[in-house]
Amino acid sequence: MTGELVNELMDLIKGNQGETELKFLFYDLDEKISLPMFSRSIRVRLNNELISYLEDHPSLDFKVN
């Protein structure tokens, strides 16, 4: 993840606050290490804008439960 991608994602999340829990799983392919994380303070509104952003970034995988 680049700093630019993190900043874009944070701006998008801040602009789409809602009630959906936000969880991340960072995975290092080289080291085969995973790091699950979640936000206690930020929740999102799952909408087309957020989903489109995630779909447009092939380095990001996402799942909706």
Report the distance separating Cα 24 and Cα 6, nearest Å.
12
pTM of the model: 0.72
**Is 34 within the bounds of a domain?**
yes
pLDDT for 15 beyond 80: yes
Amino acid at 12: L
- Cα 23 to Cα 37, 40, 62, distances in angstroms: 6, 9, 10
Q: Which domain holds residue 17?
A: 3-55
Residue among 47, 54, 56 nearest 17 (CA): 47
**Is 61 within the bounds of a domain?**
no
Segment 34-61, tens digit of pLDDT: 999 999 999 999 899 989 998 998 888 8
**Is 31 within the bounds of a domain?**
yes
DSSP string, 26-48: EEETTTTEEEEEEEEEEEE---H
